[in-house]
Amino acid sequence: MILNKASTEHGKAILAASAPCAITPVTVPHYLESTYWWAYTHPNAVRVFERQWLVNLILWGNFSRLRDLALQEMGDVINGDVLQVACVYGNFTEHLVRRLGPQGHLNVIDVAPVQITNLHAKLGQQKQVTVLQQDSSALHFADASHDTVVVFFLLHEQPAEVRRKTIAEALRVTKPGGKIVFVDYHKPKASNPFRYVMVPILTTLEPFAMDLWNGQIADWLPSDCKSLALEKQTYFGGLYQKVVMTR
């Protein structure tokens, strides 16, 4: 199951005093409305899924571990500009905010207005956080504008062509020497019993996830980024992966 989504209402999109750039309202993609309305775009979705115990259960008890693995890539104290691509059910963003140093700033983008409203409710007023409605496949940030970009359980929710654009955009807005951190599903080892449990779950509820399962994140890199430094690790018998690219 997915744990995030990329978006916000234009008029309610700012948690910080000012946005990094002016943007126009974004339309929620058809694939998201038609496929994930029950999990992300319907108001009742937030009421159901915004429960820490539930998001942990969805990841078979691995939420906190995977959250911390992603955050460790940014360091104990973050003083640069970070972009979180898509809101996340659970306390991922709260833990990220706690690591922000005096010079740190977090931008969060999402494409579903209800997810933006939910993030406002979770974070309250945070002067070092800006929340914007943007589509992850067409970001409104300048090239090389962020030190770190994190994409936590988003790629498996997207059709291949959208996934490819999301990865390209994440790379585009990362500064030279900066990191892009992906955490998502991965095809587990044949000996892992969850391999056989997850197939019917993903094929029924996550129609794009099996595409990611049967490929590699590196498969969707832009042609001019194939030589980037890339580190990949898998967890929980291979069911989850963390991929870190250095720009």
**pLDDT, tens digit, 9 for 90 and up, residues 156-215:** 999 999 999 999 999 999 999 999 999 999 999 999 999 999 999 999 999 999 999 999
Characterize 154-175 residue by residue with b for buried, 16 or more Cβ atoms within 10 angstroms of its Cβ, and e for exposed.
Answer: bbbbbbeebbbbbbbbbbbbbb
- Strand-pairing partners, residue 133, are 110
16-30, 38-52, 227-241: range with lowest mean pLDDT: 16-30
Asked if residue 188 lies in contact with residue 194, where contact means CB atoms within 8 angstroms, the answer is: yes
Cβ(72)–Cβ(150) below 8 Å: no
* Geometric angle at alpha carbon 236, from 86 and 92, rounded to 5°: 25
Q: Which amino acid is at 135?
A: D
Query: Nearest to residue 36, comparing CAs of 183, 157, 156?
Result: 157
Read off the pLDDT band of 3 (50, 70, 90).
Answer: low
124: left (phi over 0), alpha (psi -120 to 50) or beta: left
- In DSSP terms, 151 is beta-bridged to 182
Confidence of residue 125 (pLDDT cuts 50, 70, 90): confident
- Which pair of tokens denotes residue 99? 């690591």
CA atoms of 198 and 179, how far apart (whole Å): 30
pLDDT of the residue at 150: 98
Average predicted confidence (pLDDT) for the chain: 91
CA-based R_g, the chain, Å:
17
Give the CA distances from residue 145 to residues 4, 63, 90, 105, 175, in Å, rounded to whole numbers and listed in that order.
Answer: 22, 29, 27, 12, 6
> Coil, helix or strand for 155?
helix
- In this prediction the pTM is 0.90
Residues 6+ apart with CB under 8 A from 47: none
For residue 247, give the nearest of 168, 177, 148 by alpha carbon: 177
Instruction: Give the model confidence (pLDDT) of 31-85 as tens digits.
Output: 999 999 999 999 999 999 999 999 999 999 999 999 999 999 999 999 999 999 9
